[in-house]
């Protein structure tokens, strides 16, 4: 295993989590390549060979629309997120492309200071570019927690 | 009785006592009278159990129910509770099986729910077996009466209920004819767990008033079109509702139609407006229709996103929404892709409607401390509870309460 590649991927996942949890959605979007996709699919659908997503952004334009909608249009529960990402593994490595997987748990904290588990699942992440500047080409989120608590506004 | 605790003042069900949403005794009574009583509940789609032996476990109210297609193709539904000691018999959410065996003591039930086998039925050495008087009893999993309308399976615990078509009402069977006229292709599921009472959701889907006020996606991106016309249809028993809107009569394509007509807020536009493109697949211009069937179903059409929703109460303070998305078997792959894209619009992360989860929780959290107070279903309260072309209206909500109070045996103020 290329140790540098592994550490770069770890660092990218950390920046990914921090950007969402701090509400810096433009910074989060900037982690993606110009050509990119982001989708969230419940595990129960995948297991039944069904494609139906909860979120499906096939292009950067669609992803950007979702972020603008989040910031300007959608009304959702006032909360903060905390991503815990672990079990990071490099699945494939080539000079300009890495495929990685990681498990996540996301907790939401409301204004009463109560935290509850929002969901757990797995990222399958395709990364492109030089190691010093890895960008996400595809982020496929498999969500174990199919029954979404309240609603899903902020990205996983 | 729990229901008699609450006053229903005002005319024609425009004041709803908050306690009716939070009272655990009312909740218990609803399970008996509404969900296991004189109603037809939506179970699942035939396309989900297409092959002989296919089954799904679903919920009618908070009762777990197995829906099963038998070897001969016939449809059956029964309570998922062992006739022996009450264990859940079918633990899986879906599958295909020749029979259903309870893991606890291996009692075996056939695809119609009838007891087919009991280990050691005659005991050991002739002692300790099945009681003699029960040997010839018809022991089975509690059945529901089942009927399918165009592939949408409904069930009722009241064996003498009127036929499904009559219960649904002609305006509503006509709408199902529209939605379910071609063989279906199941695309998948979404679920959402909302911490509120199930009736707050029943109101929400019968409330076209909130559409352009809570859900700001279309307004923000200038998609809301003032050429839209529509209305609400209400069934004879008042509990079912279709809220719909029709695109402008002009035939411009969806792209130009959505490219800034009636912009409300300056400066925001979608980079990918095609997400909202509506392909007029029913050839009637109707791009949005939300049909709710009392007590537990919604059939939605949001553009080309088609789904059923099953409302599953989980106690007075929580419910699950279970969405089954579908297209048609003769859809092109490109159309399937379009439907999968439009899965973005509704559901737990729906760009157009995610706010409902929050709105319902906002109400439920605040009314717990006001069980003797009332909600004011104000808009259109002077109008009769019937089909109309008013889109800014809360009239269908009063339709829900008409059927609910009737079935619950609740005496109301000067309600019809």
Q: Is the bond preceding B283 in cis, omega lying within 30 degrees of 0?
A: no
Interchain pair A59, B275: CB under 8 A: no
Interchain pair A56, B341: CB under 8 A: yes
Interchain pair B340, A73: CB under 8 A: no
Please indicate if any CB of chain A lies within 8 Å of the CB of B259: no
Please indicate if any CB of chain A lies within 8 Å of the CB of B320: yes
Separation of alpha carbons A143 and A103, rounded Å: 10
Residues of chain A with Cβ-Cβ distance to B211 below 8 Å are none
Among B189, B275, B357, the residue with its CB nearest the CB of A150 is B357
Q: In CATH, what number is assigned to the domain containing residue B303?
A: 3.90.380.10
Instruction: Collapse the DSSP code of B149 into the 3-class scheme (helix H, G, I; strand E, B; otherwise coil) and give the result.
Output: strand
Q: Does one domain contain both B140 and B228?
A: no
Q: Does one domain contain both B66 and B194?
A: no
Confidence of residue B220 (pLDDT cuts 50, 70, 90): confident
Q: Does one domain contain both B301 and B267?
A: yes
Q: What is the structure's pLDDT at B226?
A: 52
Please indicate if any CB of chain A lies within 8 Å of the CB of B250: no
DSSP labels for A51-64? Answer: ---SEEE-SHHHHH
pLDDT at B416 over 90: no
Q: What is the structure's pLDDT at B262?
A: 42
- Which segments of A43-96 are extended strands (E)? 55-57, 80-94
B17 part of a folded domain = no
Q: Does one domain contain both B181 and B273?
A: yes
Please indicate if any CB of chain A lies within 8 Å of the CB of B193: yes
Q: Looking at CA atoms only, how far is residue A22 from chain B in angstroms?
A: 20
| Cβ neighbours of A104 (radius 10 Å) | 21
B239-290: pLDDT as tens digits: 999 999 887 544 444 444 444 444 445 668 899 999 999 999 999 999 999 9
Q: What is the structure's pLDDT at B227?
A: 58
A156 part of a folded domain = no
Q: What is the structure's pLDDT at B254?
A: 42
Instruction: Collapse the DSSP code of B173 into the 3-class scheme (helix H, G, I; strand E, B; otherwise coil) and give the result.
Output: helix
Q: What is the structure's pLDDT at B263?
A: 42
Interchain pair A50, B214: CB under 8 A: no
Structural domain containing residue A137: 3-143
Q: What is the structure's pLDDT at B66?
A: 98
Q: Please identify among residues 374-413 of chain B the ones whose CB lies closer than 8 Å to any CB of chain A.
A: none
Structural domain containing residue B190: 170-408
B222 part of a folded domain = yes
Q: Looking at CA atoms only, how far is residue A95 from chain B in angstroms?
A: 32
Q: Does one domain contain both B183 and B262?
A: yes
Among B193, B219, B340, the residue with its CB nearest the CB of A53 is B340
Among A51, A77, A151, the residue with its CB nearest the CB of B349 is A151
Interchain pair B348, A151: CB under 8 A: yes
| Cβ neighbours of B256 (radius 10 Å) | 11
Q: What is the structure's pLDDT at B224?
A: 62
Q: Which residue has tokens 């291996």?
A: B106
* Domain count across chain A: 1
B1 part of a folded domain = no
Confidence of residue B380 (pLDDT cuts 50, 70, 90): very high
Among A52, A69, A76, the residue with its CB nearest the CB of B189 is A52
The H or E element that residue B219 is part of is helix B217-220
Q: Lowest mean pLDDT of B98-107, B146-155, B249-258, B299-308, name the range.
A: B249-258
pLDDT at B228 over 80: no
B317-335: pLDDT as tens digits: 999 999 999 999 999 999 9
* Domain count across chain B: 2
Confidence of residue B391 (pLDDT cuts 50, 70, 90): confident
- Which of B33, B317, B31 is closest to B197 using CA atoms? B317
Q: Does one domain contain both B84 and B208?
A: no
Q: Does one domain contain both B60 and B176?
A: no
A149 part of a folded domain = no
Please indicate if any CB of chain B lies within 8 Å of the CB of A153: yes
Q: What is the mean pLDDT of residues B192-215?
A: 95
pLDDT at B141 over 90: yes
**Nearest-Cα residue of chain A relative to residue B194:** A150
B217 part of a folded domain = yes
Q: What is the structure's pLDDT at B265?
A: 55
Please indicate if any CB of chain A lies within 8 Å of the CB of B277: no
pLDDT at B115 over 80: yes
Interchain pair B349, A65: CB under 8 A: no
Q: Does one domain contain both B316 and B374?
A: yes
B56 part of a folded domain = yes
Q: What is the structure's pLDDT at B261?
A: 42
Return the residue in A151, A152, A153 with the most chain B beta carbons within 10 A, the one to mutate for interface testing: A151
- Which of B292, B167, B297, B289 is closest to B237 using CA atoms? B167
Please indicate if any CB of chain A lies within 8 Å of the CB of B264: no
Q: ∠B315-A53-A137 over CA atoms, to 5°?
A: 135
Six-digit token string for B97: 């099986």
What backbone torsions phi and psi does residue B381 show, to the nearest 5 degrees?
Answer: -65, -20
Q: Does one domain contain both B259 and B133?
A: no
Q: What is the structure's pLDDT at B392?
A: 84
Please indicate if any CB of chain A lies within 8 Å of the CB of B194: yes
A45 part of a folded domain = yes
Looking at the predicted complex, does its ipTM rise above 0.90? Answer: yes
Confidence of residue B405 (pLDDT cuts 50, 70, 90): very high
Identify the domain boundary among B116, B148, B180.
B148
Q: In CATH, what number is assigned to the domain containing residue A101?
A: 3.10.450.50
Interchain pair A73, B190: CB under 8 A: no
Residues of chain B with Cβ-Cβ distance to A40 below 8 Å are 349
Q: In CATH, what number is assigned to the domain containing residue B48?
A: 2.102.10.10
Q: What is the structure's pLDDT at B256?
A: 47
Residues of chain B with Cβ-Cβ distance to A44 below 8 Å are 93, 189
Q: CB–CB of B180/B151 below 8 Å?
A: yes
Q: What is the structure's pLDDT at B318?
A: 98
Q: Which parts of chain A sit beneath pLDDT 50?
A: none
B2-59: pLDDT as tens digits: 888 899 987 789 999 999 999 999 999 999 999 999 999 999 999 999 999 999 999 9
Handedness of CA B374, B376, B377, B380 (dihedral sign): positive
A150 part of a folded domain = no
pLDDT at B229 over 90: no
Handedness of CA B133, B135, B140, B145 (dihedral sign): negative
Return the residue in B45, B258, B272 with the most chain A beta carbons within 10 A, the one to mutate for interface testing: B272
Q: Does one domain contain both B358 and B248?
A: yes
Please indicate if any CB of chain A lies within 8 Å of the CB of B55: no
Please indicate if any CB of chain B lies within 8 Å of the CB of A64: yes
Interchain pair A76, B355: CB under 8 A: yes
- Which segments of A95-150 are extended strands (E)? 97-109, 115-128, 135-143, 147-149
Q: What is the mean pLDDT of residues B76-100?
A: 98
DSSP letter at A133 equals: G
Q: Does one domain contain both B83 and B138?
A: yes
Interchain pair B272, A76: CB under 8 A: no
Six-digit token string for A112: 């009463």
Q: Looking at CA atoms only, how far is residue B198 from chain A in angstroms?
A: 13
pLDDT at B65 over 80: yes
């Amino acid at each position: 295993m290329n140790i540098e590649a592994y550490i770069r991927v770890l660092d990218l996942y950390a920046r990914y989590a921090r950007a969402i949890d701090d509400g810096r959605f433009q910074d989060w979007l900037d982690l993606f390549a110009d050509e990119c996709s982001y989708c969230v699919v419940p595990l129960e659908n995948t297991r039944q060979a069904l494609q139906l997503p909860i979120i499906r952004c096939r292009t950067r334009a669609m992803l950007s629309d979702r972020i603008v909608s989040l910031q300007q249009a959608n009304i959702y529960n006032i909360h903060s997120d905390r991503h815990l990402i672990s079990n990071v593994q490099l699945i494939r490595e080539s000079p300009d492309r890495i495929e990685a997987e990681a498990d996540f748990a996301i907790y939401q904290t409301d204004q009463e200071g109560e935290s509850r588990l929002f969901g757990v699942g797995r990222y399958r992440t395709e990364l492109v570019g030089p190691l010093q500047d890895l960008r996400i080409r595809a982020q496929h989120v498999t969500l174990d927690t199919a029954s979404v608590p309240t609603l899903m506004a902020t990205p996983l | 009785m729990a229901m008699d605790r609450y006053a229903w003042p005002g005319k024609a069900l425009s004041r709803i006592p908050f306690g009716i949403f939070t009272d655990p005794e009312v909740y218990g009574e609803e399970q008996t009278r509404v969900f296991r009583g004189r109603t037809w509940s939506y179970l699942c789609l035939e396309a989900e159990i297409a092959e002989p032996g296919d089954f799904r476990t679903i919920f009618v109210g908070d009762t777990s129910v197995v829906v099963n297609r038998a070897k001969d193709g016939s449809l059956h539904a029964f309570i998922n509770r062992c006739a022996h000691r009450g264990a859940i018999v079918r633990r899986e959410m879906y599958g295909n099986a020749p029979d259903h065996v309870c893991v606890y003591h291996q009692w075996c039930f056939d695809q119609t729910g009838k007891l087919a086998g009991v280990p050691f039925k005659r005991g050991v050495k002739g002692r300790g077996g099945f009681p003699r008087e029960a040997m010839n009893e018809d022991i089975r999993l509690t059945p529901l009466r089942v009927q399918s309308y165009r592939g949408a399976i409904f069930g009722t615990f009241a064996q003498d209920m009127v036929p499904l078509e009559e219960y649904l009402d002609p305006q509503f069977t006509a709408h199902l004819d529209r939605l379910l006229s071609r063989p279906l292709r199941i695309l998948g599921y979404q679920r959402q767990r909302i911490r509120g009472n199930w009736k707050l959701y029943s109101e929400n889907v019968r409330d076209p008033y909130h559409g352009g006020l809570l859900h700001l996606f279309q307004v923000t991106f200038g998609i809301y079109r003032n050429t839209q016309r529509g209305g609400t249809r209400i069934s004879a028993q008042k509990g079912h509702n279709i809220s719909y809107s029709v695109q402008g009569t002009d035939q411009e394509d969806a792209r130009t139609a959505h490219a800034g007509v009636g912009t409300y807020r300056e400066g925001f536009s979608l980079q990918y407006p095609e997400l909202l493109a509506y392909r007029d697949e029913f050839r009637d211009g109707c791009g949005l229709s939300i049909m709710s069937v009392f007590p537990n179903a919604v059939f939605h059409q949001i553009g080309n996103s088609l789904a059923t929703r099953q409302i599953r109460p989980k106690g007075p303070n929580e419910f699950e929404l279970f969405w089954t998305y579908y297209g048609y078997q003769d859809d092109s792959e490109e159309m399937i892709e379009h439907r999968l894209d439009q899965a973005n619009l509704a559901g737990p992360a729906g760009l157009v409607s995610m706010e409902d989860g929050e709105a319902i929780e906002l109400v439920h959290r605040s009314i717990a401390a006001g069980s003797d107070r009332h909600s004011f279903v104000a808009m259109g309260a002077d109008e009769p509870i019937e089909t109309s072309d008013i889109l800014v209206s809360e009239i269908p909500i009063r339709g829900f309460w008409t059927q609910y109070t009737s079935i619950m045996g609740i005496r109301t103020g000067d309600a019809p």
